Amino acid sequence: MGRIELDGLTKRYGDVVAVDGVSLDIADGEFLVLLGPSGCGKSTLLRLVAGLITPSGGRVLLDGRDITHAPPARRDLAMVFQSYALYPHLTVARNIGFPLRAARTPRAEVRRRVEEVAALLELGPLLDRRPRELSGGQRQRVAVGRAIIRDPRAFLMDEPLSNLDAKLRQATRAQFRMLHETLGSTVLYVTHDQVEALSLATRIAMLDDGRLEQLGTPTEVYDTPASVFVAGFLGSPPMNLLPARVECHDGRVRVLADDVEVDLWPGEDVEARDVILGIRPEHLHLMAAEGPAGPGGMPRLRGVVRAVENLGAEESAQCAVGGALVHFRGARPLGLAAGQPVALTTARDHIHLFDRHSGRRLAWRPLADRPLADRQSADHEPAAALHDGVTTHQRSST
Amino acid sequence: MAVAETTAPAPARGEPSAVADLAGETGARVWLRTAVGHGVLAALSLACIFPIYWMYATSLRRPEEVYNVSLFPWPLSVGNYTHVWDVIPIGRLILNTFAVAALISVGQLLVGLLAAYAFTAWRFRGQTLLYLAFVGTWLVPFQVTMLPNYTLLYRLGLLNTLAGVIVPNLASALGVLLLRQHMASFPRDLLDAARMDGRSSWSILWTVVVPNLRAPLAALSIVLFINAWNDYFWPALVLQRADSVVQLGLRGLFVGVEGPDWGGLMAGSGLACLPIFGIYLLLQRHVVGAFVRSGLK
Ligand SMILES: Nc1ncnc2c1ncn2[C@@H]1O[C@H](COP(=O)(O)OP(=O)(O)OP(=O)(O)O)[C@@H](O)[C@H]1O
Ligand SMILES: [Mg+2]
């Protein structure tokens, strides 16, 4: 068992609020990744759960038991540190066995368990070495070994892969996923690397400035970012975010900005408002021909190519659209050169809108049960909504 | 040798002559720097070693030849040593001094270790103030505490005992200061890891901190031991007998009827230095070894 509940957890350092009222319910067996930029409070949150620092407010529950003030030793949680924190004076075997010896486990039992763990992590031949005689990847595995030998209720990991090179990181990611499937334990995992988060997590908790921005599966977080912050954090390059305005013109609800025209749906009853228009680089593509930008036309962004970057399988182009820089990527070659004028378009489903002031996502929902072709036809516009928590604009036509 | 190390292999193409010139020049300069460095170090070590050599050389001359200034004593004689043995109980004196110095340095090490651990592992109210108070004791001259300590020892009935020498010296700011510096740079993650692994703070001190501070602890032990071993004034004040510790015993040889007994003095000092050399040889192995940070990253 290993269900961790956080209830309004807060940590203040003087005026700095490192963790700001975070509530989370991490189910048993879940692989929850805390994702966010440097300094957003990920490590602090993890250390609060570990009991290494005491919160300024809120509670931590482990399997329903309040452990907010229990010392780390009584929490039955194991931690893997970014620095690995191996004991330099002990051999690998003694490092791995350290938590068991602290619990006064009989010697023979310790030896047996150490050998088991070493076999699982392929550390067998290294058991008599000291940490300084190991490579980075081997140290990392020893650190993991020291955590799993205790069979704890949950694992806490603070950027365990950040000291490895790219290739090893990928291999270790796969190993973590396997380990999680084998052991089935709860993992609370901190990283600032979105690839790690998207590939490992069962759910991602996005943190910004100590606050929980969004909680969801990798798919949810990537496909429907809850805020400008989340949208701008995920993806490489991240989502294009352009200041724009929603207006009604000639019986159509449209999103307008310099050199940008997006026709949403027919209607008049949407209040004009400032928004942020978001489109992922991989969802943009070149407009075949200059189609009509009139009612029901495809979303259109006009710009000039500034640079083209080779990413291996794909190419990424940066285009100046209005005053902003828009990235788009597609299969190589894109057939573009710097200085060339382009027109970009995207499917309407791939349009994200955020409130300009709060940065929160505006739900705008084309009616999902219509076939795509139908939705794009001029005559049968789907029902759609544009709303946030405060104002709701509902509209249904047809 | 230095030239060979720094001469880069000339690239296959380009300007081989220029490259060779450059390499030659740096090589010569490195060689010069090495030579000057070694020269300075050699001169310094000679200046350090010579008095010690002279002490042993003089002690090994025949007693009637102690004023001979030839560089090598010949013929060798242990006359001065047997003489010291006859005049003062040198064996017991050295043993006493050893016990005193050992107890004082162990006491100071323990106090330093516990205090430094408290100062680094915890945050508590009045911490800075308390630490400054500790450091402050270092600035108070010995003469200020001498008399109060003396009267206190008198009241406790510890005058003229070895305990009187030891007890007031059991804590020293030096130990606290030095160990706190080392613990402050001790990786915090290691302490946190040990806490996660279920160790109490007492057990963390002995199973994680101390084994990784072997080098500074060994260095500090040497310094503390030598300090205690060399201390003359306080033992002279507390122990008013010449047959107590070696520092005072040697004084007896100075103030003989016919002036200083140089041969005996050199032999006695030579013997008194041996435990220090022993301690140094024993501990310097640890000073050189052990690297705390190597377990990280
Ligand atoms: N002991 C402390 N005293 C004061 N401020 C602190 C302390 N520890 C952390 N902070 C502050 O709290 C905030 C969050 O720090 P934290 O280490 O949790 O960030 P992080 O998300 O783990 O960043 P990174 O990805 O760089 O590790 C930072 O602004 C940091 O300066
Ligand atoms: Mg961190």
Counting ligand 1 atoms within 8 A of each CB, the residue from A10, A16, A33, A192 with the most, and so the one to mutate, is A16
Which of A355, A376, A377, A353 has the alpha carbon at shortest distance from A365?
A353
Q: Whose CA is nearest to atom 22 of ligand 1?
A: A43
Look at residue B160 and tell me if it is in a domain: yes
Neighbours of ion ligand 2 (CB under 5 A): A 43
Count of all residues that appear for chain A in the document: 398
Closest residue in chain A to residue B198, using alpha carbons only: A73
Please indicate, yes or no, if residue A344 is contained in any of the structural domains: yes
Mean pLDDT across B243-264: 76
Instruction: Output the pTM of the full model.
Output: 0.80
Number of domains within chain A: 2
Mutation choice for ligand 1 from A11, A13, A34, CB with most ligand atoms inside 8 A: A13
In a domain, B9, yes or no: no
A255 and A115 in a single domain? The answer is no
Q: What is the mean pLDDT of residues B65-77?
A: 81
Rg for chain B (alpha carbons), in Å?
26
Cα B169-B174-B179 angle, rounded to 5 deg = 120
Testing ligand 1's pocket by substitution, the residue of A9, A19, A42 carrying the most ligand atoms inside 8 A of its CB is A42
Nearest CA in chain B to A163: B297
Q: Token pair 């050992």 is at which residue?
A: B102
What is residue A365's predicted lDDT score, i.e. its pLDDT?
Answer: 57
**Is residue A173 domain-shared with residue A69, that is, in the same domain?**
yes
- A44 and A24 within one domain: yes
On whether any CB of chain B is under 8 Å from the CB of A67, the answer is no
Closest-CA distance of chain B to residue A186, Å: 17
| Chain B residues within an 8 Å CB radius of A89 | 211-212, 214, 290, 295
Mean pLDDT over B21-43 rounds to 83
Is-contact B222 B280, C-beta < 8 A? yes
- The alpha-carbon gap from A177 to the nearest alpha carbon of chain B, in Å, equals 23
Residues of chain B in contact with residue A78, where contact means CB-CB under 8 angstroms, are 196
Query: pLDDT at residue B159 above 50?
Result: yes
CB nearest A83 (choices: B189, B195, B291): B189
Is A97 within a domain?
yes
For B28, residues 6+ apart whose C-beta sits below 8 A from its C-beta are: B3
Does residue A155 share a domain with residue A70?
yes
Residue B39 counted as domain residue: no
Minimal Cβ distance to A85: which of B190, B198, B211: B190
**Which DSSP string corresponds to B57-86?**
HHHTS-GGGTT---SS--S---HHHHHHHH
Q: Is A396 inside a domain boundary?
A: no
The CB-side HSE value for A93 (13 A sphere, CA atoms) comes to 16
Task: Tell me how far the alpha carbon of residue A139 lies from the centroid of ligand 2, in angstroms.
Answer: 19
Identify the pLDDT of residue A40.
Answer: 93
- In this structure, what CATH number is given to the domain that contains residue A103? 3.40.50.300
The residues in B 138-197 lying below 8 A from A, measured between CB atoms, are 187, 189-190, 192-197
Q: Are residues A313 and A285 in the same domain?
A: yes
* A64 φψ region: left (φ > 0), alpha (ψ -120 to 50), beta (else): left
Q: Look up the domain containing B100 and give its range.
A: 87-295
Whether B184 contacts B120, CB under 8 Å: yes
- Give B108's contacts (C-beta < 8 A, 6+ positions apart): B169, B170, B171, B172, B174, B175, B224
Out of B193, B203, B292, name the one closest to residue A81 (CB): B193
Query: Considering CB atoms only, which of A102, A131, A136 is closest to B294?
Result: A131
Which domain does A311 fall in, by range?
A: 237-388
Residue B35 domain-assigned (yes or no): no
Q: What percent of chain B lies above the pLDDT cut of 70?
A: 86
Q: pLDDT-based confidence at B1, cuts 50/70/90?
A: very low
> Count of domains in chain B?
1
User: Which stretches in chain A have pLDDT values below 50?
Assistant: 367-384, 389-398
Cα–Cα dist A186/B246, whole Å: 67
A395 within domain boundaries: no
Angle between helices A136-148 and A107-120 in degrees, nearest 10? 130
In this structure, the answer to whether residues A49 and A89 fall within a common structural domain is: yes
Domain's final residue, options A231, A253, A276: A231
Lowest mean pLDDT among A36-50, B10-24, B174-188: B10-24
d(C-alpha B158, C-alpha B6), whole Å: 65
Q: Does B192 sit within 8 Å of A85, measured CB to CB?
A: yes
Query: Does a structural domain hold residue B58?
Result: no
Distance from CA of B295 to the nearest CA of A (A): 4
**CATH number of residue B203's parent domain:** 1.10.3720.10
- Inside any domain, residue A25: yes
Residues found in chain B: 297
Residues A56 and A196 in one domain: yes
In a domain? residue A148: yes
CATH number at residue A315: 2.40.50.140
Confidence at residue A33, expressed as pLDDT on a 0 to 100 scale: 96
Among protein residues, the one with the nearest Cα to ligand 1's atom 31 is: A39
The encoded tokens of residue B296 equal: 């990280």
| Contact in structure between A99 and A76 (CB atoms under 8 Å) | no
Alpha carbons A51 and B63: distance in angstroms, whole number: 72
Indicate whether B13 pLDDT > 90.
no
Would you call A84 an interface residue with chain B, using a CB distance cutoff of 8 Å? yes
Contact list in A for residue B290 (CB cut-off 8 A) is 89
Domain boundary among A231, A258, A276: A231
* Residue B195 confidence (pLDDT): 93
Q: What is the pLDDT of residues B266-283, one digit of tens each?
A: 888 899 889 889 988 888
Q: Which two tokens stand for residue A7?
A: 């209830």
Q: What is the distance between the alpha carbons of residues A285 and A281, in angstroms, rounded to a whole number?
A: 9
Chain B: closest CA distance from residue A20 (Å): 23
Tell me whether residues B192 and A81 touch, CB distance under 8 A.
yes
Asked if residue A182 and residue A156 are part of one domain, the reply reads yes
Helices (H), chain A: 42-50, 92-102, 107-120, 136-148, 166-183, 194-200, 218-223, 228-233, 372-376
Q: Are residues A227 and A174 in the same domain?
A: yes
The domain boundary, picked from A231, A255, A288, lies at A231
Between residues 93 and 152 of chain A, which touch chain B (CB distance below 8 Å)? 98-99, 102-103, 130-132, 136, 139, 146, 150
How many angstroms separate the CA of residue B191 from the nearest CA in chain A? 9
Chain B residues whose beta carbon lies within 8 Å of the beta carbon of residue A149: none
The answer to whether the complex's ipTM is over 0.85 is no
- Alpha-helical segments (H) within B60-161: 79-87, 90-121, 127-139, 142-156
- Is B196 close to A78, i.e. CB distance below 8 A? yes
3-state secondary structure A156-178: EEECCCCCCCHHHHHHHHHHHHH
A165 touches chain B (CB under 8 A): no
Question: Token digits for A33?
Answer: 């990744």
Q: Tokens 């620095």 identify what position? A: A83
Who lines ligand 1 at CB under 6 A? A 13, 16, 18, 36, 38-44, 192
Q: Is residue A397 part of a domain?
A: no
Q: Which atom of ligand 1 is nearest to the CA of A47?
A: 18
Q: Which of A23-37, B24-38, B145-159, B180-194 has the lowest mean pLDDT?
A: B24-38
- List the single best residue of A53, A77, A83 to mutate versus B (max B Cβ within 10 A): A83
Ligand 1 mutation pick, A9, A11, A15, A44, max ligand atoms within 8 A of CB: A44
pLDDT at B50: 93
The answer on A246 and A365 residing in a single domain is: yes
Cβ(A47)–Cβ(A123) under 8 Å?
Answer: no
Check A136 against B297: CB less than 8 A apart. Answer: yes
pLDDT value of position B172: 86
Quickly list DSSP for A376-395.
HSSSSPPPEEEE-SS-EEEE
